[in-house]
Chains A and B, each alone.
Chain A
């Protein structure tokens, strides 16, 4: 497998209590991994370690693209994250948020692309509105636009349909389906409707 995510001996402990340990799995390209488990089992922590936001207590997760293991900086460029923990800037408009994240990623900003992405997530007419005035569902939709901006190879989704209505949930299903064709999706959820997307699953106890 040229492109893959390798989880080897992964463990995370907080204050001498192991959330999980000795996790071993390989996530192949063009597949979806579903991470399940009750509240507090470590689903978000698992995703945070994958994104490089939290350090593992033992083992680690390596991302291999084109046969080469990615550094932290390269990993940043290949990951898109949507999570309830991640917040966008309330004092900026939707377009300004996209412009900011594009620039700090070192990518040129394109207004037509911003409009295209905002239309995709159902915010086509709200680009100039401040995010602070958005509902929680609209903010969730904008997170998808931000996560997809740089065409990431790996899309990491924590509770992917939280705050979304039925149309929003359908949109997420479409995004997961399309991303699976382009690369890898890792999603943490207990929703039966989302679990069915998984090509493989791990259950954290």
Chain B
């Protein structure tokens, strides 16, 4: 049986548990929606500047990811299921399965949050394709970095604090690039600018995924 079916089994198991127990999804959605609605009321229908609107979306995505994605390995450690998983599975399929689950979690959250964001802030997207690709790549990047950070934090006694501290330097390049591309997609600008940012996001995602796969075995077997 290939590593793909093993990864799919880990992802499917997490989706099943999430669907039945709702460990992360409810908290993630509630955080995103509450933040959006609170800021929308504060602005009272006024226009939002380009920089602020783009940053706001990625601030919401970032904190939602930290709320939801960070649970993936911590949950396994806290419930004691990580021992069975370590005894049964090779490290790479575990990482890939968790990454796929986290990506699915964040993308499904975005399907609800992004239309609400555009509606509440009365925004029209100029470069629709660039906007959607940026959100997709940005969230995949948050999922991949979040997955390995969660694995590292799960081995520590100070799980929450460590995750926040580690995430800043690792996620900063992703957040800056994604915010730039989102601003251009929302308010217009040179398409070449978005393409450069998208290329950066692809490079970032590839690098983080490859490094995480190499690093994960050591973190997991620690």
Select A107's contact among B1, B79, B93, beta carbons within 8 Å. Answer: B1
Given the complex of chains A and B, what is the CA–CA distance between A87 and B86 in angstroms? 12
A residues near B51, Cβ cutoff 8 Å: none
B84: contacting residue among A52, A73, A146, CB under 8 A = A146
Q: Which of A94-128 contact B (CB under 8 A)?
A: 96, 100-101, 103-108
- Given A76-B87, A91-B17, A92-B17: A103 and B81 interface contact (C-beta under 8 Å): no
Instruction: Please determine whether B87 and A51 come into contact, CB atoms closer than 8 angstroms.
Output: yes
What is the chain B residue whose CB lies nearest that of A104? B89
Q: Which A residues are CB-close (under 8 A) to B1?
A: 103, 106-108
A interface residues, tally (CB under 8 Å): 27
Chain B proximity of A8: nearest CB distance (Å): 21
State in angstroms the CA–CA spacing of A51 and B88 once bound together. 11
B9 contacts partner chain A, Cβ-Cβ < 8 Å: yes
Q: Are A53 and B86 in contact (CB under 8 A)?
A: yes
* B5 lies within 8 A of A103 (CB): yes
Whether A86 pairs with B84 at a CB distance below 8 angstroms is yes
In the complex formed, the residue of A with least CB distance to B93 is A104
In chain A, what residue has the closest Cβ to B222? Answer: A55
Contacts of B5 in A (CB 8 A): 103
Q: State whether A81 touches B83 (Cβ < 8 A).
A: yes
A105 and B88 contacting across the interface, CB-CB below 8 Å:
yes
B221 at the interface (CB under 8 A from A): yes
**CB-CB nearest in chain A for B94:** A104
Collect the chain B residues with CB atoms within 8 Å of residue A91's CB: 16-17, 20-21
| C-alpha spacing A107/B9, complex, angstroms | 12
From B10, B85, B87, B221, contact of A79 by CB (8 A): B87
Q: Tell me whether A106 and B16 are in contact (CB under 8 A).
A: no
Q: Roughly how many angstroms separate A83 CA and B80 CA in the complex, as a whole number?
A: 11
B residues within 8 A CB of A105? 88-89
| Bound-complex Cα distance A90 to B81 (A) | 9
Question: Judging by beta carbons under 8 Å apart, are B87 and A87 in contact?
Answer: no
Q: Are the CB atoms of A88 and B81 closer together than 8 Å?
A: yes
Judging by beta carbons under 8 Å apart, are A85 and B9 in contact?
no
Contact B87 A92 (CB under 8 A): no
Pick the 9 closest A-B CB pairs, nearest first. Answer: A87-B80, A103-B9, A104-B89, A106-B1, A91-B17, A86-B83, A91-B20, A91-B21, A101-B88
New A-B pairs, 14, CB < 8 Å, besides A85-B83, A86-B87, A89-B81: A53-B83, A76-B88, A85-B80, A87-B79, A87-B81, A87-B84, A91-B16, A91-B20, A91-B21, A92-B13, A92-B16, A101-B84, A104-B9, A104-B93
